[in-house]
Each structure stands twice: as C-alpha cells, then as structure tokens.
Structure 1
Amino acid sequence: MSAVQQMGGRPGLDGVKQIIAVASGKGGVGKSTTAVNLALALAAEGYRTGILDADIYGPSQGMMLGIPSGTRPQADEDKHFLPLKAHGIQVMSMSFLVTDSTPMVWRGPMAAGALQQLLMQTRWDNLDYLIVDMPPGTGDIQLTLSQKVPVTGAVIVTTPQDIALLDCKKGIEMFRKVDIPVLGVIENMSLHICSNCGHEEAIFGAGGGERIARDYETELLGQLPLVIEIREQTDSGIPSVVADPEGRVAQIYRGIARKAVELTKKIAEAGNQGPSIAVLND
C-alpha cells in the first residue's frame, strides 16, 4: 500500500506510491543536481519515477532535464496538469508556468499555496517514486509539504564543510519534528578530483557526512566527488546518470537509489502514517 493510500488519498496524488523529499539546510550544496540524478537513478533501476520542482523561488529542473524554455504542460478533462516527460521520468515545475525572467516576489503563504497547487493539481501517472526537490532552508514550503503530503522519507544533501553541516543538522531536526523519517545524508563535493592530473583532495574537509549520520543515527547514503563533468552535464540538460550511465558518478547515484528504495520499503512495511503537526506557543 502506498503512503498516499495509507492517509486516505490526496487529490492529484492518487498515482503516486512513495514520496521522497530531497532537502538541504542551505543553498549551494548541489541539492537540485542531486535530486534530478536520484530521480534518474531510480528510473534506471526500473522504477516509474517523477520529480516535482518545489523550489518555487528558483526552479531549475526544467533546464537540468533539457526541457526547452517556454514549454507548458497540457491539462486533462479535470483541469489537472499533465506532467512533462524527459529522459524517461515525469516532471512538473513552477518554471513551466512562468517565464525564465519572472521573479517569484511572493510572501511565504503565496509560495506555499503555489506548491500546494502543483502537488494537488498534477496528474502523476502511476509513479513508484515522486522525488520532491525542496527549496533550501526550513520555512513555509517545508511546513506545507509536511502538512499536506504523506512524505515517505527525506534525504538531506550537504557538503563537508562545517557551516554546511550546521545547516544540515537543522534540516534533519526539522523533518524529525514533523515526524517525517530521514532516510539519510548525501555528502556532495566530498572530494575534488583534478580533471588534468587526477589528483584527489578534500578541499571542503573530510568526514563531515559520516559524523552527521553517526550523531543522528541515520545513514550516509553516498558521497559525490567534485568534478566538472557533473556541472557540465547538468547544465547541458543531460544529467550524469543519463550522460554517462556506466561512469563513476552514475554508479554512485544508482547505489544511493538502491539504498533509498530499501529504506522506503522498510518504512512502508512498518506502516508509517505520515506527519503529525503541533504548533506550540512558547
């Protein structure tokens, strides 16, 4: 039984079995790149996968998946958006509803409302996994997702340096406060590999992801190197898992995907009923 079915269903989410939120405590850690490659890795493992770009203020999944600017989703007879398709996965993003130069100058409730509309009015087609690319931080959109959607689990993306790890802790604590299981931590940019000589150097520090996983009793799902190919491939609209499916980076993402599948199956078998929200006035 899916997470959505366990909670009595949600309009627009009937076609989704499991939902994984990909989040970060701060921007600039490669969260969106990780989210799109995780979605593609799940698809490569044989699962029907979609990705929702919930980063309302800075949607980027359309560009990362090579969807031409100005492409608009179609609607069905019930006026639900039909997700676009790219590289074998289903995609929905705020960027499909506005122009590339349109700034989202919205207060928190407006952004949260836009997310809710994307979630509930997109007709996902029989997905095993929906990856939700969250905005950085711990604000209104994160709270809306936890209140309105039966998220199976969350993945936290970080880099090894201390300031990123500090924000990573806040992200883990946020999801735990709203009773969303944290599947684990992905450490991005863990090791710089020189494109000329192959020299490896931990320029952002070492061991940070392992410490966070140990301290919070969760898993280190994987460590991604800092290599120029990841950036070049994603900017070109053909992310690493598709661009070089047999390469080192793609295999790391597929390993992360397999771990995520195993963990979500355990959560589903345990009958996680979704988040319970309590707002306290201190």
Structure 2
Amino acid sequence: MGNCNSCPSKNNCNSQATCTIENNPNNKIGKIIGVMSGKGGVGKSTVTALIAKKLNKMGYKVGILDADITGPSIPRLMGVRNGKAYQGQNGIIPVENSNGIKVMSINLMTDDESQPVVWRGPMVGNVVKQFYGDVLWGEVDYLLIDMPPGTGDVALTVMQSIPISGIVMVSVPQDLVSMIVSKAVNMATMMKINVLGVVENMSYIQCPDCDKKIKLFDGVETEKFLKGMELDLLGELPMTREIVDITHNGVEEISDELDSTLSKIVNKIK
C-alpha cells in the first residue's frame, strides 16, 4: 500500500484504491534503491551509474530507472545515448549497455536528446509510473532509481507508488550540513522509507606528490550533522579527473582506488 498518512489526497481518494503501481507480471525485481539529492549539481546521477557498475561487476543483475525526466543523464553515463527503447509484446523493452545493465530513460524514447521535456508535474509523474510498471525489466537483483533533485512531485510519486527498499542520499561537503539535505532526509522519513545513508561526493582532492587527502570543508561539522540526523556516511568520493571524465564520457573502466571506495558503499546498501 502507499504511504497514505503523508499523501495530500488522504481522505479524498477511493478507499478501495492503492497508490502502489501494479508491476509487469513478467518482472522479478529484487531490491529497489532510490538515489536522491537535496538539489541538482551534486553528482547524483554519476553516483547512481557508479553503484550500478559496481553491482554489475559483483555479478548482480542491475537496472536503472531514470526518473529525472527533465534532466536525464543516465543514458550518456551508461553509454547508451544512441539506444532506443521500444514497445514489445509484454511491455516496453529497456536498453541494455555493453555490460548488460538495463536502462530506461525518457531520452531513449525521443529522437533528439537535446529537446526539452516541457511537461507539468502530473504528466512527468505518470511517465515515471510507466517506467516502473510497464517496462519489461525481467529478472533484476537491483533496480536503481535516479530521482530528480529536491522534494517535488516526482520524488513524492516514486516514494508513494514504488516499493522502495531504501534511499541513498548524495551530497557535496558544503551542502551536507544544511537544510537542503535535511529536507530530503525528512521527506523520506515522513514517507516511512529507510535512508540507507549518505554518499559525500567531491569530498576531497588527493595530493599527487604525497598522496594526502585534502578536505576543503570541516569534517567535524559533518560528523555532528550525521550523528544528529542519525545517518550513516556510506562513503566519500574524491574530486578527480577520473570522475570528471565519467561525467562527460560515461562509466567504462574504474580505477582500483575508486573501485575500493565503491565496494565499501555497495556493501553497506546491498
């Protein structure tokens, strides 16, 4: 059932109805993990792609539902920007990348990825529901949902309509100890969805000469904030040329150092 206590339509909808989307009967989906951020520009989609790559490398079957309808970047990050999803006999067929990761995004259903999606909230929400309920995901161990930034309509739709196992919050150091992250965490808590923890992106730079980690922001405040919000720090991703290249060119090979960090993150959420 949906989380009716937090629904704006509580007591005004059909009491026999449920907010939860009926999934395609041909699907067998294991854990569903939402990846969320308080605002844009913090690398949420990149973190989603990296987690998917790591889970796939560990032998799990993985899918990514790109719920960021107005700012989709998952196809580029997963190397399928020229792919096309299509209607099959038993549902919409997602695109698979070279590693077998299944991807569904609005950009995989349009002729020109640069054209804007000028839709109102309810229409965007309905598309996200279709991406979950009408897509032939088949058998996947993990379905990652790359959610749009903030706490708007689509985030509410996802949390109310899809049986999410937990949320991974992505932030950058200067925003972590702020109301931006607090709002997103409190929204998940209000919807009775478990926040698995926080990934701090752009956490530090590494000195090329002495290999020392250089943090630009005060880690003490971060620790206090996490403790006060009862959140786990899943991992810290550095600001490196490798991650910048991933942002521009997609996820291909991952260095041993980055792979080690991703292992720690994934082992805490799987």
- TM-score when normalising by structure 2: 0.85
Inter-partner Cα distance in structure 2 for 1:204 and 1:52: 33
What residue in structure 2 maps to residue 64 of structure 1?
77
Shift of 1:199: 5.6
> Structure 1 243/217 Cα, relative in aligned 2: closer, same or farther at 3 Å?
same
> Structure 1 188/138 Cα, relative in aligned 2: closer, same or farther at 3 Å?
same
What residue in structure 2 maps to residue 84 of structure 1?
95
Q: Which deviations, in whole Å up to 9, do the C-alpha atoms of 1:194-227 show, x marking residues without a partner?
A: 5577564222443454333311212111111111
Please, which runs of 5 or more residues in structure 2 have no aligned partner?
1-18
Contact 2:20 2:161 (8 Å CA) reproduced = no
Aligned partner of 1:149: which letter? I
Contact 1:61 1:93 (8 Å CA) reproduced = yes
Give 1:12's match in structure 2, choosing from 10, 24, 29. 24
Inter-partner Cα distance in structure 2 for 1:235 and 1:208: 32
Please, which runs of 5 or more residues in structure 1 have no aligned partner?
1-6, 262-282
> Structure 1 258/119 Cα, relative in aligned 2: closer, same or farther at 3 Å?
same
What residue in structure 2 maps to residue 97 of structure 1?
109
Inter-partner Cα distance in structure 2 for 1:207 and 1:29: 21
Of stretches 165-174 and 52-61 in structure 1, the one that deviates more from structure 2 is 165-174
Contact 1:26 1:164 (8 Å CA) reproduced = no
Give 1:46's match in structure 2, choosing from 36, 45, 59. 59
> Structure 1 101/164 Cα, relative in aligned 2: closer, same or farther at 3 Å?
farther
The 3-state SS of whatever aligns with 1:56 is coil
What residue in structure 2 maps to residue 113 of structure 1?
126
Aligned partner of 1:17: which letter? G
Contact 2:197 2:234 (8 Å CA) reproduced = yes
- TM-score when normalising by structure 1: 0.82
Does residue 249 of the first structure (1) align with residue 258 of the second (2)? Answer: yes
Q: Which deviations, in whole Å up to 9, do the C-alpha atoms of 1:94-150 show, x marking residues without a partner?
A: 110122121011111121111111111111121111000000000000110111111
Percent of pairs identical after alignment?
Answer: 37
The 3-state SS of whatever aligns with 2:204 is strand
Contact 2:29 2:140 (8 Å CA) reproduced = yes
> Structure 1 162/143 Cα, relative in aligned 2: closer, same or farther at 3 Å?
closer
Contact 1:83 1:123 (8 Å CA) reproduced = yes
> Structure 1 28/211 Cα, relative in aligned 2: closer, same or farther at 3 Å?
farther
The 3-state SS of whatever aligns with 2:170 is strand
The 3-state SS of whatever aligns with 1:226 is coil
